[in-house]
Amino acid sequence: MRPQPRATRAFDTARPIEIFRVAGRRPANVWVDDNGTPTASGNTAQRMKELVYWRTRTRPGEQIQERLGGLYVVTTAGDCHPVALSEPQEATPETAFLGAQSIRERDAARVAELIASGDLVEGTGLRLRGPPSRPGDRLLPAGHPLIVDERPADIDAPTPPPRRVAPQRWS
């Protein structure tokens, strides 16, 4: 196992808090053209993808860690999963390219609220057992809800690495 970089900040959860754990991706209602400009759907347009989340709560002993790439919940066993603390919003043509930045800003404000209320307490980062999970590689069908309240059956199943495809030669 390759060593993982240390957490920038780690927060112990004093009480269970609501989190939105990444459960997969789905096609968004935003299409872009070959130049990456939002456009109407059509033959030359590509549909963007957006993350799908499972609404859940932290358990005693779990931590929220700020790491490269965003926030993660780290379990007492050392498993690490990407999360959001603020409720995700559907992508629109106006917000599609600012989605990650927007959620990080809302999450930073939510962390400040949770610290002020005593629900999060700065602590020392728990060690990870392995690399963070990658459920964002799992593609869900179009029309799948953005947030689900039921635990997805395969959320902790190992995600196979992306498959490499040989380049096609055009004659």
Residue 155 lies in a domain: no
Neighbours of 135 (CB within 10 A): 23
- Mean pLDDT of all residues in the chain? 87
Residue 159 lies in a domain: no
Per-residue model confidence (pLDDT) at position 134: 84
Q: Are 89 and 106 in contact (CB under 8 A)?
A: no
Over residues 99-144, the pLDDT tens digits come to: 888 899 999 999 999 999 999 999 998 888 888 888 878 889 999 9
Poorest-confidence range of 26-40, 89-103, 154-168? 154-168
Per-residue model confidence (pLDDT) at position 158: 58
Number of domains in the chain: 1
Per-residue model confidence (pLDDT) at position 163: 64
Residue 118 lies in a domain: yes
Quick one: CA torsion of 11, 123, 115, 151, rounded to 10 degrees?
Answer: 20
Mind spelling out the 3-state secondary structure of 28-63?
A: EEEEECCCCCEECCCCCCEEEEEEEEEEEECCCCCE
Residue 109 lies in a domain: yes
Q: Name the nearest CA neighbour of 88 among 115, 108, 64, 106.
A: 106
Domain that holds residue 69: 9-25+51-148
Over residues 36-50, the pLDDT tens digits come to: 888 877 777 788 999
Residue 85 lies in a domain: yes
Q: What is the pTM of this model?
A: 0.84
Q: Structure tokens of 161?
A: 């690495």
The Cα 145–Cα 26 span in angstroms is: 9
Residue 96 lies in a domain: yes
Residue 101 lies in a domain: yes
Per-residue model confidence (pLDDT) at position 117: 95
Residue 100 lies in a domain: yes
Label residue 164 left, alpha or beta by phi (over 0 means left) and psi (-120 to 50 means alpha): beta
